[in-house]
Structure 1
Amino acid sequence: MENTISSTDINKERVRKMPILVSLLLSGFIGMFSETALNVALSDLMKALNITPTTAQWLTTAYLLTLGILVPLSGLLIQRFTTRQLFIASLLFSIIGTALAASSPNFEFLLIARVVQAMGTALLLPLMFNTILVLIPAEERGAAMGMIGLVIMVAPATGPTIAGLLIERLSWHWIFWMSLPFLVIALIFGMVFMQNITKVTKPAIDWLSILLSSVGFGGVVFGFSSAGEEDGWNSLKVWIAIAAGAFALILFVWRQLTMKQPLMDLKVFKYPMFVVGLLLIFVCMIVILAAMLILPLYLINGQGYSAFKAGLILLPGGLINGLFSPLMGKLFDKFGPKWLVIPGLAVVAATLWLFSGINTASAVAFVIVLHSALMIGISMVFMPAQTNGINQLPLELYPHGTAIMNTLQQVAGAIGTALAISIMTAGTNSYLKSVENPQDPAQQLAAFTQGVQHSFIFAMSLTLAGLILAFFLKRVAVRHPQEGAMH
């Protein structure tokens, strides 16, 4: 599979790694910022657009659902289009989506804008990871991924704070207006400095695989997302969507295994450390997305803070995660994944257990310390598990490995968001059914708090399953040290 240039091409002096990486990271930063900044604005959006929490959740879920449908195609796209073409297309989608979101008059318009934004991110994420795998030799990859962690995590850390300030002083529209000029700068910078580091081979397009992938991943995510609505798991459409999605995925897997040139090469699952890394990333994404959705809602609705103050409370944890990522990258290069991932998951589980006891009287300092500990734990797990898994793959499977890992990250994020809302709603309703006067504001607040606690218990249970899995981690001996070699 000739989907990247050879090592001899990459080693030529004309390839300037730093400008290429800066272009990708600047774009990724703004993409992450606009996604997470909206979380802290959900409460204001509910009031401004007159929508329920379940409806507001779709602004996040639709974004992730679009990624879940489009990211599986990234292995094909990387082989059919040049690096520059994919980069420019991703930025144009992001710019158009952000401009639409900034001028949205209602929920439906905003939802469409989020889908267009997600189309840009769906092109950018796999392109960024594949570029790093091609340009950075395996023995330095941990440090490189750590630097990406620094940039990518500072965006969601600062997003809620800046968004909170914009909402307080202006309106939620300005979250997008502020992102727009940076995206334009990223596009111009990329057009000047971005170089083609992939070889276009124009593989055949299998439309049936694309259809099965879209129905499969889309159906599963839609089913889980719909479970957060009023009827919950009693809704027939939830089970129909999940069943249809699962059936389509079974057919998709069967088709990939019987094709000479599969859309998504499932040979990656023959490599055990890739599978373990993939499952650990799956757990991490569910936990991260659940926590990043539930915590702002708890701080604003449960504690009565403004969006700005909620953002400030969550700022230290995100910044700490970003600062720890390069350190974890260097430690991974030196010691391997096991002695980072196991303690990291233990910290995450302990933190979520303490979070499951928070209530309306919990001190701000307590929430800041817990959130910071959660972010440190995540930084110890995410990058080491991901890099170790990818490192075990043969070079020709890199695009497929990154496509699968990025796809399941988005699907896990959507499932995590949906389950968190679903469990929170169920916990809230359960409490209200047990009291004499469910209309009493004090009882409603207590019910909401119980729902939040139940969400954190769910996340903790999942983390403990991940902790057991982490004991099977082994450091991968990279057998292809040639930088960027690909056959």
Structure 2
Amino acid sequence: MSTDTIGTPDQLSDPPTNVPSSTDAPVLSRTDKLAPGHFRAIALLMASAFTVILNETTMSVALPPIMDELGVTATTGQWLTTAFLLTMAVVIPATGFLINRLGTRGAYLLAMSLFTVGTALAMIAPGFAILVTGRVVQATGTAIMMPLLMTTIMTIVPAHMRGRVMGNVGLVIAAAPALGPTLSGVILEPLGWRGVFGVVLPVSVLALVAGLLWIRDVSEKDKHHLDPLSLLLALVAFGGLVWGLSGLGEGAHAAAGTLNPWIPLSTGLVFLGLFIWRQIVRQRTNSALLDLRTFLHSNFRVAIGIMSVSMLAMLGTLIVLPLVLQEAMGMTPLQSGLIVLPGGLAMGLLGPVVGRWYDKIGPRPILVPGTVLVTLGIGMLAFLHPGTSPFYVLGAHILLSLGLSAVFTPLFSSALGVLQPHQYSHGSATINTVQQVAGAAGIALFIAIMTLRSETLTDSGVSAADAMTSGAGLAFGIGAGVMALTIGLATLIRRPETDGEFHGGH
């Protein structure tokens, strides 16, 4: 996290816990700095979240050597990623309860302990089953970290500073996944696949020790007990949705005897309805696993809608584009990775800048052009063919990435900014759950469209390369059309009224 966005530790002062509203005091009374302890806590949470999210995408490059050493097929090996995503989808809905119950310190120590144990287990795994178990334990810790980061920022950062601080989250959600495959590739040659976990392990241990020293609770703990039925419904609902969507994405490439993806998908939808009903009942006693009253706020509803489509577009593109570059346009894995790396880095590095813009001008002047850029970027990719210049692809992906950087920070800040403090953890958990399901949906949608279209063209005599780029082009075109709908939605997002504390009202 860049220190210039919130000041260096020796420049920081106490946070404005009792700053009068703008109706009682001049705007000059606001405080633009964080207390040193709060600065260290947020910096540590940012670094920890970066580490655990970075780990999500390392398996894509490490899978081939793992398959060779442990003697598993590609279909079996994919469970290293699928199990990770399934665990994330199941655990995230419960993070609102965990954060409120355990407090900031307890939730952080639990998250990093699980991640550290999972990393160590994966590093020494003697067989594939233990390796998958390690990934599941890792994913459990990862699932807690992002909602905890957002909740802590919303709790201890003054309203007028949230944009610039939340902008640093872009470094986590964008740069970390982009760097994962590159880092994995660098480590694999000298250290092998175990080295991918071995390099991360000391970093996670260090973060755990730092958490023991620096992390303190920033809000009162909740005394409500866990509802086992809600947890069971969440497990089947969100696990079924992600499993089913992942299966749809595999399509014709699914192994013989694989469960029909419509079975877990339809089961997930049924249990999602039951989960929602259960939460509405539990909300009457303020004991819901995931408080859905966050959806009573228009800003939150609209932001979730835009975020869903944006995640669908981003992850669908991230999966399909490298496949097309390698299999239809003849690029090496390194070349395809280098093409998408600048966009990912630009998206992350622009996050703090977008955050400062948000604090100054509000969400709409950033969101509207951002959604336009995302739509144009995906639309440009719809015209790919085997002879397309790599620079055209690079430009389209950078355009897409810049647009996404202008979308996520305002959405996070606007969605969470309208909630009451006791709802922050539930709002953060909802946002991260939606991201997981929307991401799985995007991958399934893009791959299914590309596969169906390319197989139809191949059967009619079109070359494999032309058929694949045509199929991917159709997927990108539909994605651009869906993304275009968010341009109008972006005009409905308003600056949260809480910002008026420090800006003189709105």
TM-score of Structure 1 vs Structure 2, range by shorter chain: 0.7 to 0.9
Q: Which position in structure 2 is the counterpart of 1:440?
A: none
> Closer, same or farther in 2 for the Cα pair 1:32/1:272, shift >3 Å?
same
Instruction: Decide whether aligned partners of structure 1 residues 312 and 101 sit closer, same or farther in structure 2, where only a CA change above 3 A counts.
Output: farther
The one of 431, 446, 458 equivalent to 1:420 is 446
1:97 aligns with 2:118: yes
Task: Give the superposition deviation at 1:273.
Answer: 0.6
- Is the 2:159–2:499 Cα contact (8 Å) retained in structure 1? no
- Residue deviations 1:335-370 (CA, integer Å, cap 9, x gap): 111111111111111111111222332222222222
Residue 144 (structure 1) shift: 0.4
Residues 125-165 of structure 1 show CA distances to partners (whole Å, capped at 9, x for unaligned) of 11111111111011110000012223543322322322233
Could you give the per-residue CA deviations for residues 15-65 of structure 1, whole angstroms, max 9, x where no partner exists? 71121112211111111211123334557767776644x665544333222
Equivalent residue, structure 2, for 1:245? 268
* Residue ranges of structure 1 left out of the alignment (5+ in a row): 1-5, 437-442, 483-487
How many residue pairs are counted as aligned between the two chains? 467
Alpha-carbon distance between aligned partners in 1 of 2:411 and 2:234, rounded to the nearest angstrom: 25
Alignment CA distance shift 1:110-1:362 (3 Å): farther
Unaligned runs of 5+ in 2: 1-15, 19-30
- Is 1:333 the counterpart of 2:352? The answer is no
Contact 2:154/2:417 (CA < 8 Å) preserved in 1?
no
Counterparts of 1:292 and 1:313 in 2: how far apart (Å)? Answer: 11
The answer as to 2:161 corresponding to 1:135 is: no
Amino acid at match of 1:228: G
Matched, 1:299 2:344: no
Alignment match, 1:182: 203
The range that moved more, 367-376 or 33-42, is 33-42
- 8 A contact 1:65–1:411 mirrored in 2: no
Judged with a 3 Å threshold, the aligned counterparts in structure 2 of structure 1 residues 169 and 50 are, in CA distance, closer, same or farther, namely same
Q: Which amino acid aligns with 1:403?
A: A
Q: Does 1:454 align with 2:477?
A: no
Alignment of 1:46-445 (within 5 A): 51-52=73-74, 58-104=79-125, 108-167=129-188, 171-230=192-251, 237-259=260-282, 260=285, 261-435=287-461, 443-445=463-465
Answer yes or no: is the 8 Å Cα contact 1:165–1:307 preserved in 2. no
Residues 202/15 of structure 1: CA separation in 2 closer, same or farther (3 Å cut): farther
Secondary structure, counterpart of 2:42 in structure 1: helix
**1:87 CA displacement:** 1.2
Deviates more, 1:397-406 or 1:152-161: 152-161
Question: Does the Cα contact within 8 Å between 1:43 and 1:297 map onto a contact in 2?
Answer: no
Moved more, 106-115 or 466-475: 106-115
TM-fit CA distance, 1:168 = 5.1
Q: TM-score, normalised on structure 1?
A: 0.87
Deviation sequence 1:163-200 (CA, Å, 0-9, x none)? 23334555444332222222122112222211222322
Deviation at 1:246, TM superposition (A): 1.4
Does 1:464 pair with 2:484? yes
Q: Which has the higher contact order (CA 8 A, sep 6+)?
A: 1
Query: Which whole-Å CA distance do the structure 1 matches of 2:313 and 2:62 have between them?
Result: 20
Q: Which residue of structure 2 lines up, in the alignment, with residue 3 of structure 1?
A: none
AA matched with 1:474: R
Instruction: Report the alpha carbon displacement of residue 230 of structure 1 after superposing the two structures with TM.
Output: 4.4
Paired letter, 1:477: E
Aligned-residue Cα RMSD (Å) equals: 2.9
Output the CA distance in 2 between the equivalents of 1:61 and 1:457: 27
Query: Which residue of the partner structure matches residue 26 of structure 2?
Result: none
Q: Distance in 2 between matches of 1:133 and 1:36?
A: 27
How has the CA–CA distance of structure 1 residues 240 and 158 changed in structure 2, closer, same or farther, with 3 Å as cutoff?
Answer: closer
Distance 1:382 1:281, change over 3 A: same
* Preserved contact between residue 355 and residue 370 of structure 1 (Cα < 8 Å): yes
Query: Secondary structure of the equivalent of 2:250?
Result: coil
Write out per-residue CA displacement over residues 364-386 of structure 1, whole angstroms, 9 at most, x where no aligned residue: 22222221111100001111012
Q: Which amino acid aligns with 1:457?
A: G
Measure the CA separation in 2 of the matches of 1:173 and 1:452: 34
Question: Secondary structure of 2:220's partner?
Answer: coil
Query: Contact 1:39–1:292 at 8 Å: present in 2 too?
Result: no
**Change beyond 3 A, Cα 1:230–1:106:** farther
User: 1:485 matched to which residue of 2?
Assistant: none
Q: Which whole-Å CA distance do the structure 1 matches of 2:179 and 2:258 have between them? A: 38
Relative to structure 1, the CA distance from residue 303 to residue 217 in structure 2 (aligned partners, 3 Å threshold; closer, same or farther) is same
Distance 2:125 2:488 in 1: 46
AA aligned opposite 2:296: K
Give the Å deviation of 1:68.
1.4
**SS of structure 1 residue aligned to 2:261:** helix
Note if contact 2:347-2:405 (Cα within 8 Å) is conserved in structure 1: yes
Counterparts of 1:288 and 1:444, CA distance in 2 = 25
- Partner Cα distance (1:110, 1:302) in 2: 33
Aligned partners of 2:250 and 2:444 also within 8 Å: no
Cα distance, 1:105 vs. partner?
A: 6.1
Q: Is the 8 A contact 1:67 1:119 kept in 2?
A: yes
Distance (Å, rounded) in 2 between the aligned partners of 1:31 and 1:216? 25
CA distance in 2, matches of 1:258, 1:7: 34
Letter in 2 for 1:258: V
Pick which of 396-405 and 174-183 moved more. Answer: 174-183
Distance 1:299 1:169 in 2: 27
Counterpart residue identity of residue 84, structure 1? R
CA shift for structure 1 position 289? 1.5
Could you tell me how far apart the structure 2 residues matched to 1:348 and 1:25 are?
26
Counterpart of 2:371 in 1: which secondary structure? helix
